[in-house]
Structures are given as C-alpha cells and as structure tokens.
Homo-oligomer: A and B are copies of this chain.
Amino acid sequence: MHPALHSFLHGKITLSAEHEALVARTFQVKSARRNEILVPKGAVAKHLYLVAKGCLRVFLLDDHGRESTRFMVFEGRMGTAFPSFIRQQPSAAAVQSLEASELLTLSYAARQVLCREVPGWETLERHALEREYIAAIERIEGFLTLPATARYEALRQQSPALVQRLPAKIIADYLGISPETLSRLKARG
C-alpha cells in the first residue's frame, strides 16, 4: 500500500488483509505536471484524488476568462470537483495540479465498490465528508466575518509551506483579497 494511502487510512479504519489488498489495488497512482488540468470545466469529474505530494486547486472560470479559486486540496487530503463527481454530471469547476503532484486516484465506480464491499469504508467516507463539509462551512464563515488578516493567518497555520511556495496570485484569489494586500500581510508575518 502506498504510504500516503496508509497515512490517510491510519486510525480511521481497521482492514482485514483481504480488504487491505482490495483497497491498495483500487487506488491508482498518478503523476501530474505543474499546472496540469485534471478535470476541465464542463467535463465530468471521474475521480477522487488523494494528494500524496503537491497541491490541487478547484477553480471556477467565468465567460471573461476570470478565475476564482473555490478550494485547494493540500497534501494528505482528498478532493475533486465534488458536485460533478457525486452527480456524474459536467463540472462547473475545473481541477488543476498547481505543482508537480503525486496523486492516488479513486474512480466513481471503485468508490461504490469500496462502500459496498469493505466493512467500515462507508463510515470512513462519512467522516471524511463531515470534515470537508465543516471546512466548507468555515470557508463560508471566513467570507462572512473574518478580515483578510485572519483569513491569511488561518491559511498560514494550516499550510505554512504552501503559502511560501504557491504563486501569490492564487493565494490572494483563494483568500478573496488583492495581491497587494497579500504582499503587505506576508511582509508583516
């Protein structure tokens, strides 16, 4: 089993040898180049991605070519264009690998098999969904209530390395602030 998958599952599920083998061969390793588009806007998101190395971005693109970053998926987390993946319908958002990334992919059909065949997998999925749903709620709260400084601080604590290595434009867009405000905050921190 890939070490990133092992870490992801650790403490969340106890697998028999047989089910561990099934899980290990169900996830596929995939490398993605920096800036590679994994799911184009309008395509169906066919996979969930567990980020072993690197970082994904889920973003919206309007008719004028303006991008807005909806989510970032950091190392050790799973993500995709979730509404498209669940409904298996064309995606409003695109998924991009922001860096050279190593991913473990789980297809829609394979996920159904794991939920059906592996005892405890559905509980694990429910807990993962609860965490992601809470993260989305906290992002909404951030938009509604936190000043730019606090949004930046939260991200810096969550993922210090990423704040350093990702382009300022992407970070600013994710935080909903101008690149100028971001560089002031970075200089201060």
Contact = CB atoms under 8 A, between A and B. Distances in A.
A58 to B, nearest CB: 9
Contact of A83 (B71, B93, B126, B137): B137
B82 A137 contact: yes
Contacts of A138: 83
Interface residues of A, number: 31
Given A144-B68, A144-B70, A123 B115 contact: yes
- When all copies of this chain in the complex are counted, the total is 2
A130 B86 contact: yes
A159 B145 CA distance: 25
**Interface residues of chain A: helix, strand, loop or mixed (majority):** helix
Contacts of A68: 144-145
Interface string A75-111: 0000000110011000011000000000000000000
Interface string A160-179: 00000000000000001000
A129 interface: yes
Nearest to A136: B136
A143 B145 contact: no
Among A125, A132, A133, the most chain B Cβ lie within 10 Å of the Cβ of A133
11 contacts: A60-B141, A70-B141, A70-B144, A82-B133, A86-B134, A122-B126, A126-B129, A129-B129, A132-B133, A140-B140, A143-B143
